[in-house]
């Protein structure tokens, strides 16, 4: 029997997507379902007995002090980190847009941290933050300090946050530049002719037209800040989440529970990842709803 | 370069135009008109240059300090001088001799290259099928793939680890690579860009008697080359710098990737910061060089993916 032309094309499409579809089922969707199954057990991979305990793992979070510490810190990373980096990067992008020469040079300067490994630069910052590192030597030379930076529960989190912002800034600057580039010059010109000040032009024309860019950076920024791990593990002594757990994040706590604690608490760790998933989902949906009034055509 | 809004044109060309605008047009035609009030304007511009320069130097300072520290004698490590008082390459020799740096570097390179090739091929193939074929179940497949973007990696790391243990994939390249061989983000990106390829082009090729795979490979794929390049850059960087999964799935020193190797070495050297900074330099400088050479293409690629 000869296949119709249409059927033959269907067949080709199925051939094209077969391996990727199997991959996503086996490597993404299957494991996600399995992770939920694990979260309903007391699960130590080397133990023979892995009892089913229902939602006890989820209940246990209520009275787990370290968990709440991690939640609190993770929210600080998001609520402090995302707005600060967005304001900074928008400011830098607006400045870069005014330049007539050397734009490429400046762009490269700001973008460099984004391409480098967080592990390597995390160690560089850790070195600069040391009691006898660069910052304290500079402070000492003007008769100040020393500051403990990573060594004190009051400052450790902010010290790590600075590195997180520094590393992601270049990406946001570039995306803002692209957003600014797509604001039609003629609107700005018309407003200028009508006597609008540069602040008015920014507030009433540029900023509203930047909305899609802002939503994109907000969503990606929040999601990546909810998942901070590498910089904390690198910069907290012993990778433990800092003095008095002052820097521990949800992901670092998950890692410790599943891969460092003895016996391993993979069930509990899995349960926490589902809480993280729920937070990510809620935050993303809320942001899209709040901010995407005119982004449908983007 | 026109700077009409991407929304108004709504096509792949618009995204490309913006990307080119960011990278190539050093400054779009400024409307000098009302803002140009002679010296005030000049002063403001000077201030912007000054602030951006100070900020920019601050951005790269950690790298300058890292390289400077790596060239200092252990005794000079606490000196504040940017130029090493007695410059030396001994630290580099020591790191090379005491670590498997070259091995880690090659591991990272091989893993990043294979993953990137796999992602480029499978993601473009899937994106093409989803954009240019209509078949029963297409939207289900698309939503299914898209939904995996919402699942955080951390949730999957535990099942992946168990899978790797059971199938003896730990401590192997495959064990490090398998979760990233196809990326949902890339499928989405490629689908967006293939949608902009005219159907006529593909139909004409069919009439000419070309096979479906040939049409994808020789006719459709070249049309989305900028997006494909961007995807490759993203995938390569992501895999080169990946940390959490390679850390979990490797035990032996021989299969560590560069970030994992550097992390272990730095932790073990406790406070020998002249060596740690040398290792950090050896991990970052090659990437920095590649970035500086291809910075236009890389930044263009970032813009392109950010717009879709």
| Fold (topology level) of B97-307 | MetI-like fold (1.10.3720)
Dihedral Cα A19, B255, B288, A161, nearest 10 deg? 90
Task: Say whether B165 and A45 touch across the interface (CB within 8 A).
Answer: yes
Chain B from 84 to 143: CB within 8 A of any A CB: 122-123, 125-126, 128-130, 133, 135-136, 138, 141
Q: Please, what is the Cα angle at B2 between B1 and B8, to 5 degrees?
A: 145
Kindly state whether A224 is in contact with chain B, defined as any CB-CB distance less than 8 angstroms.
no
Please tell me the predicted confidence (pLDDT) of residue B112.
96
Q: Among B33, B263, B306, whose Cβ lies nearest the Cβ of A192?
A: B33
Question: Could you tell me the sign of the dihedral formed by the alpha carbons of B160, B162, B167, B172, in that order?
Answer: positive
Q: Please, what is the Cα angle at B186 between B185 and B190, to 5 degrees?
A: 125
Q: How far apart are CA A17 and CA A24, in angstroms?
A: 11
Q: Residue B156 belongs to what H/E stretch?
A: helix B153-166
Chain A from 159 to 218: CB within 8 A of any B CB: 166, 169-171, 174-175, 177-178, 181-185, 188-189, 192-193, 195, 198, 209, 212, 216
Kindly state whether A113 is in contact with chain B, defined as any CB-CB distance less than 8 angstroms.
yes
Q: What is the ipTM of this complex?
A: 0.87
pLDDT in tens, chain A (298 residues): 567 888 888 999 999 999 999 999 999 999 999 999 999 999 888 878 888 888 899 999 999 999 999 999 999 999 999 999 999 999 999 999 888 888 889 989 999 999 999 999 999 999 999 888 888 888 888 888 788 888 888 889 999 999 999 999 999 999 999 888 888 888 888 888 888 888 888 888 888 888 888 888 998 899 899 999 999 998 887 667 677 788 899 999 999 999 988 888 999 999 999 999 999 888 888 877 876 554 444 3
Q: Residue A90 belongs to what H/E stretch?
A: helix A65-98
Chain A positions touching B122 (Cβ under 8 A) are: 19-20, 23
Chain B from 175 to 204: CB within 8 A of any A CB: 178-179, 181-182, 184, 187
- Give Cα separations from B200 to B196, B205, B221 (angstroms): 11, 8, 15
What tens digit of pLDDT does each residue of B246-292 get? 999 999 999 999 999 999 999 888 778 999 999 999 999 998 998 99
Task: Say whether B259 and A298 touch across the interface (CB within 8 A).
Answer: no
| Fold (topology level) of A64-291 | MetI-like fold (1.10.3720)
Q: Residue A200 belongs to what H/E stretch?
A: helix A198-201
Among all residues of chain B, which has the CA nearest to that of A234? B263
Rama region for A144: left / alpha / beta (φ>0; ψ in -120 to 50; rest): beta
Each domain of chain B, given as residue ranges in start order, spans 97-307
* Res. B49 pLDDT band, cuts 50 70 90: very high
Task: Say whether B298 and A280 touch across the interface (CB within 8 A).
Answer: no
Each domain of chain A, given as residue ranges in start order, spans 64-291
Kindly state whether B52 is in contact with chain A, defined as any CB-CB distance less than 8 angstroms.
yes
Among all residues of chain B, which has the CA nearest to that of A125? B62
- Give Cα separations from B55 to A79, A126, A160, B193 (angstroms): 23, 20, 19, 36
């Amino acid at each position: 029997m000869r296949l119709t032309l249409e059927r033959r094309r269907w067949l080709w499409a199925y051939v094209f997507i077969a391996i990727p579809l199997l991959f996503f089922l086996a490597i993404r969707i299957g494991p996600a379902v399995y992770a939920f199954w694990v979260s309903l057990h007391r699960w130590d991979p080397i133990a023979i007995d892995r009892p089913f305990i229902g939602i006890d793992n989820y209940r246990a979070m209520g009275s787990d002090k370290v968990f709440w510490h991690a939640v609190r810190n993770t929210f600080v990373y998001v609520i402090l980190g995302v707005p600060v980096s967005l304001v900074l990067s928008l400011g830098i992008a607006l400045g870069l847009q005014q330049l007539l020469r050397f734009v490429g040079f400046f762009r490269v300067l700001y973008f460099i941290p984004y391409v480098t490994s967080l592990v390597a630069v995390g160690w560089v910052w850790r070195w600069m933050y040391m009691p006898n590192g660069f910052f304290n030597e500079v402070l000492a030379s003007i008769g100040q300090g020393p500051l403990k930076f990573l060594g004190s529960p009051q400052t450790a989190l902010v010290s790590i946050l600075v590195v997180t912002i520094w590393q992601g800034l270049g990406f946001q600057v570039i995306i803002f530049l692209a957003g600014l580039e797509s604001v039609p010059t003629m609107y700005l010109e018309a407003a200028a002719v009508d006597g609008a000040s540069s602040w008015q032009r920014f507030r009433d024309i540029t900023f509203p037209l930047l909305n899609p860019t802002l939503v994109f950076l907000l969503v990606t920024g929040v999601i990546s800040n909810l998942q901070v791990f590498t910089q904390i593990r690198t910069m907290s002594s012993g990778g433990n989440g800092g003095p008095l757990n002052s820097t521990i994040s949800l992901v670092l706590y998950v890692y410790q529970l599943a891969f460092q604690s003895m016996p391993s608490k993979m069930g509990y760790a899995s349960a926490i990842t589902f809480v993280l998933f729920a937070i990510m989902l809620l935050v993303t949906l809320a942001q899209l709803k709040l901010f995407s009034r005119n982004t449908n055509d983007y | 370069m026109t700077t009409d809004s991407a929304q108004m044109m709504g096509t792949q060309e618009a995204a490309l135009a913006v990307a080119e605008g960011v990278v190539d047009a050093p400054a779009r035609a400024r409307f000098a008109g009302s803002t140009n009030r002679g010296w005030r304007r000049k002063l403001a511009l000077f201030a912007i240059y000054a602030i951006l320069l100070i900020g920019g130097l601050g951005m790269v300072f950690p790298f300058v300090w890292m390289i400077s520290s790596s060239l200092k004698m252990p005794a000079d490590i606490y000196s504040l001088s940017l130029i090493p008082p007695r410059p030396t390459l001994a630290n580099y020799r020591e790191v090379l001799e005491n670590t498997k740096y070259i091995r880690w570097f090659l591991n990272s390179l091989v893993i990043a290259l294979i993953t990137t090739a796999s992602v480029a091929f499978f993601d473009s193939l899937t994106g093409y099928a989803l954009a240019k074929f209509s078949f029963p179940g297409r939207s289900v497949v698309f939503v299914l793939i898209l939904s995996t973007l919402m699942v955080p990696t951390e949730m999957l790391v535990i099942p992946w680890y168990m899978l790797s243990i059971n199938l003896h994939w730990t401590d192997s390249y495959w064990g490090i690579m398998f979760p990233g061989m196809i990326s949902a983000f890339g499928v989405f990106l490629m689908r967006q860009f293939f949608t902009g390829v005219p159907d006529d082009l593909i139909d004409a090729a069919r009439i000419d008697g070309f096979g479906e795979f040939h049409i994808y490979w020789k006719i459709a794929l070249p049309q989305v080359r900028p997006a494909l390049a961007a995807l490759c850059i993203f995938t390569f960087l992501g895999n080169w710098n990946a940390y959490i999964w390679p850390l979990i799935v490797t035990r032996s020193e021989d299969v560590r990737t560069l970030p994992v190797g550097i992390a272990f070495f730095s932790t073990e050297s406790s406070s020998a910061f002249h060596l740690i900074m040398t290792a950090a330099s050896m991990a970052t400088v090659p990437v920095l060089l590649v970035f500086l050479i291809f910075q236009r293409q890389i930044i263009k690629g970032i813009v392109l993916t950010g717009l879709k």
